[in-house]
Amino acid sequence: MRRPWSWMRTRAARLLLALLAVLAVTAVASTHGQAGSGVLKVRLGGDATATRVVMELDRAASGRLLNAGEGGRVVLALPRVEVGGDLGGRGEGLVKDWTVDQAAGSARLQLTLAADARVVRRFLLPPSDGVTAYRYVLDLEAAGPSVTPAPLKAVRAEPRRVRERPVIVIDAGHGGKDPGAAGAGINESAVTLAAAKALKAKLEKEGRYRVVLTREADVFVPLQSRVQIARRADADLFISLHADAGADPSVRGVSVYTLSEKGSERVARKVMSREGGFVDVKLPGADRSVNQILLDLTQRSTRNRSAGFAQLLLTEMESRTVLLRRSHRDAGFVVLLAPDVPAVLLEMGFMTNAEDEALLANPARRRALMAGVAAAVDRWFEARSPESLTSAERGA
């Protein structure tokens, strides 16, 4: 595969809205459990109006709330989760201190409250691609009459409210002086542009989306310009279209890339060192430790959503063409690095395979393939409509 032209964008305003509830976070408390324990780490962040507690686990767990704030205490039990010795630490925000111990076959989290507060939501975040820990999240809000809590829109599985007309950016890989992979009769840059236009037409047909192309002709678009296009578009989803190449002409099939763990770490290093350039993010926290946790939670949420869309996309592709073995892959492509925008890179087939090239060069078959991409987009946004979200995801 030729090294793809990449895309990424940062939106300080969007991140600021998504993390409004933790603007005043001042510290993070974390304690590691012993090797083999179910509870791996506990993190806290918050202020006098809203506080979030995150328990990292080595397994899925269903929590049982034993006390939601009465008497100045919150008690949560996680049945069949182990604790490698009692854990505890100082609290932050609405939490004075916390402990985790083993009781009646459950891991038991106990919070001593610093002020009158209530549990407003709790949910489990599963591991994303390359992330092994489960995270059980508990959100608290101040309940006193003198405090008006900010809406809790801290990072969650779906931190953004779905807009009436989502914005989708389609990136046609390569172009101009960079033709990409070469087939017997057509280049990758021509295939990706034709596919991008077909997908745009399909998505815009019913008026449900606003679609932006990173290029609309056979021109070379520098990386920085592609990023600026995406930034101006304020994208809800980014799809980069490419076609692969290989030494073996018998190899064919579709694959989808999402961001790797190393890619996330790369962005984090750049952002936290303030040397991010076009991947820079203006984080709203009060200090470095706060910003680190905000960025980490945002990236993990975005990777989860990207992986969810990738699976829908592969399901649609499977009924229309051949999938490459190990069809869902991860990589650190710059095109996937946006910390708060779900993004995938779709390899539509191999230019070096006669069957794949014939499919991609044929307008009717190409349109059918893009219809599959559009179907995946529809399913993904329908799953995130206000009617389909859980109360925790809606922030209700």
Q: What is the DSSP string of 84-122?
A: SS-EEEE--TTEEEEEEEEETTEEEEEEEESSSEEEEEE
| Residue 9, pLDDT score | 38
Residue range 110-151, pLDDT digits in tens = 999 998 988 888 888 777 545 677 888 888 888 754 343 333
Contact (CB, 8 A) for 336 and 344? yes
Contact (CB, 8 A) for 257 and 329? yes
- Cβ neighbors of 151 (< 8 A, separation 6 or more) are 20, 21, 395
Contact (CB, 8 A) for 83 and 100? yes
| Residue 139, pLDDT score | 85
Which of 54-58, 200-204, 271-275, 348-352 is predicted with the least confidence, judged by mean pLDDT? Answer: 271-275
Mean per-residue pLDDT, 6-27: 37
**How high is the mean pLDDT of the chain?**
76
Asked if the model's pLDDT at residue 390 lies above 60, the reply is no
Residue range 239-282, pLDDT digits in tens = 999 999 999 999 999 999 987 766 556 555 555 555 555 555 55
Asked if the model's pLDDT at residue 160 lies above 50, the reply is no
Contact (CB, 8 A) for 196 and 27? no
Residue range 282-340, pLDDT digits in tens = 555 555 666 566 666 766 777 788 889 999 999 999 989 999 988 998 876 656 666 67
- Cβ neighbors of 387 (< 8 A, separation 6 or more) are none
Contact (CB, 8 A) for 111 and 72? no
Tell me the domain boundaries of the chain. 23-152, 161-387
Asked if the model's pLDDT at residue 161 lies above 50, the reply is no
| Residue 350, pLDDT score | 96
SS3 category, 327: strand
Mean per-residue pLDDT, 186-191: 95
- Cβ neighbors of 346 (< 8 A, separation 6 or more) are 239, 240, 241, 242, 254, 255, 256, 313, 373
Q: Which of 52, 28, 63 is nearest to 149 (CA)?
A: 52
| Residue 370, pLDDT score | 97
The CA-atom distances, in angstroms, between 56 and each of 61, 104, 249 are 11, 20, 45
Mean per-residue pLDDT, 202-222: 92
User: For 349, how many CA atoms within 13 A lie in the half-sphere containing its CB?
Assistant: 28
* Interatomic CA distance for residues 338 and 350, integer angstroms: 27
Paired tokens of 101: 């111990």
Angle at which helix 354-361 crosses helix 188-204, to 10 degrees, equals 50
Amino acid at 268: A
Element (H, E) at 329: strand 323-331
Highest mean pLDDT among 48-52, 122-126, 193-197, 222-226: 193-197
Residue range 71-114, pLDDT digits in tens = 899 999 998 888 877 788 888 888 999 999 988 888 899 999 99
- Do 161-387 and 23-152 fall under one CATH topology? no
DSSP H helix total and E strand total for the chain: 8, 15
Pairing type for strands 343-350 and 87-90 reads unpaired
* Interatomic CA distance for residues 122 and 128, integer angstroms: 19
161-387 is a CATH 1.10.10.2520 domain = no
Which one is the CATH code of 23-152: 2.60.40.3500, 2.40.30.10, 3.30.360.10, 1.10.540.10?
2.60.40.3500
| Residue 170, pLDDT score | 94
Burial class of 26 by CB neighbour count within 10 A (0 to 12, 13 to 18, 19+): middle
| Residue 15, pLDDT score | 40
